[in-house]
């Protein structure tokens, strides 16, 4: 990682399109693939996804919770999955949604953003609900190590709307300040669901990437992404998981279709 995350993300999106593919090895998906709900099944699922589509998309997003549920054995699989994704050449966004204060936040940053950590990713998701300032240690660590962060702002789950609407302004302004004067794209992004009609802020002011989960199984379409994120069409990263993961035989074809449809909807 010898360039800022935002620069590397911009280059990957220019070459491979805007799509992020989530790796969500839930018990239901493992069963649908004919795999045991076990660390062995977890590893086979993850390695297949990495091998099948790691060369197709800009970003891949393992969901840490599905690995953590198996304790040390699951974390070992997550470490190998991150290594496999790096070998495939894609950027790794680890979905951990961590948020804390002081030394605890620094410890999370060391675990997920320090280059020497076996869990080091290109970027992570962060939760700002102890105050945006509580994330300063992680953001500083990320920028120092050419990594990135995506801060939850307006997520795709409907039960979050009231709380997030009340605090989103602080999140957006914090992200805008962190990205000031950074080109071509800042390394501090936000998470805004692809199902959200109004983020409550002009996203083009952020100068950073916008992760937009909710494509596919949660109801958003590539056309929705194009309409809702037209102002940041060069910075939005729509994310799809179950809609491409459901059928291993069609994993690559479905990924290519979502990637191409999103690029078309965003006129890229």
Angstrom distances, CA of residue 212 to CA of 11, 93, 216: 19, 13, 11
Confidence check: pLDDT of 142 > 80 = yes
pTM of the entire predicted model: 0.96
Cis peptide bond N-terminal to 234, omega within 30: no
Overall average pLDDT of the 141-148 stretch: 95
pLDDT digits (tens, 9 = 90+) for 74-123: 999 999 999 999 999 999 999 999 999 999 999 999 999 998 999 999 99
Confidence check: pLDDT of 268 > 80 = no
Angstrom distances, CA of residue 128 to CA of 45, 48, 167, 168, 213: 31, 33, 9, 9, 18
Of the CA atoms within 13 Å of residue 159, those in its CB half-sphere come to 0
| pLDDT attached to residue 216 | 87
| pLDDT attached to residue 218 | 85
The CA distance from 60 to 19, in Å, is: 9
Cα-Cα-Cα-Cα dihedral sign, residues 114, 116, 118, 122: positive
Q: Catalytic site residues?
A: 97
In this structure, what token pair is assigned to residue 5?
């995350």
Task: Give backbone dihedrals phi and psi of 165, rounded to 5 degrees, phi first.
Answer: -60, -35
The CA distance from 171 to 133, in Å, is: 9
Give strand pairing partners of 236: 210
Spell out the residues 6+ positions from residue 52 whose beta carbon is closer than 8 angstroms to its own.
Answer: 248, 251, 252, 255
| pLDDT attached to residue 257 | 97
Confidence check: pLDDT of 33 > 90 = yes
Write down all domains in the chain, each with its CATH number in brackets.
5-265 (3.20.20.70)
Q: Are 128 and 152 in contact (CB under 8 A)?
A: yes
């Amino acid at each position: 990682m010898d360039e800022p995350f935002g620069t590397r993300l911009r280059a990957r999106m220019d070459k491979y399109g805007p799509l992020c593919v989530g790796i969500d090895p839930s018990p239901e998906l493992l069963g649908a693939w004919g795999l045991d709900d076990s660390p062995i099944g977890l590893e086979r699922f993850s390695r297949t996804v990495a091998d099948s589509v790691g060369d197709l998309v800009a970003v891949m997003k393992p969901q840490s919770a599905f690995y953590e549920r198996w304790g040390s054995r699951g974390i070992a699989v997550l470490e190998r999955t991150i290594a496999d994704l790096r070998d495939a050449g894609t950027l790794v966004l680890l979905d951990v949604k961590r948020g804390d204060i002081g030394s605890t936040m620094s410890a999370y940053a060391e675990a997920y953003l320090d280059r020497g950590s076996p869990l080091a990713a290109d970027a992570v998701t962060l939760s700002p609900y102890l105050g945006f300032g509580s994330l300063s240690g992680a953001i500083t660590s990320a920028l120092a190590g050419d990594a990135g962060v995506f801060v939850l702002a307006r997520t795709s789950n409907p039960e979050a709307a009231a709380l997030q609407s009340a605090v989103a302004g602080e999140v957006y302004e914090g992200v805008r300040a962190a990205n000031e004067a950074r080109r071509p794209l800042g390394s501090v992004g936000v998470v805004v669901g692809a199902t959200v009609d109004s983020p409550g802020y002009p996203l083009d002011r952020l100068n950073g990437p916008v992760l937009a989960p909710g494509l596919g199984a949660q109801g958003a379409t590539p056309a929705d992404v194009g309409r809702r994120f037209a102002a940041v069409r060069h910075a939005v990263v729509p994310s799809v998981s179950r809609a491409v993961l459901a059928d291993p035989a069609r994993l690559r074809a479905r990924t290519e279709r979502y990637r191409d449809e999103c690029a078309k909807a965003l006129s890229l």
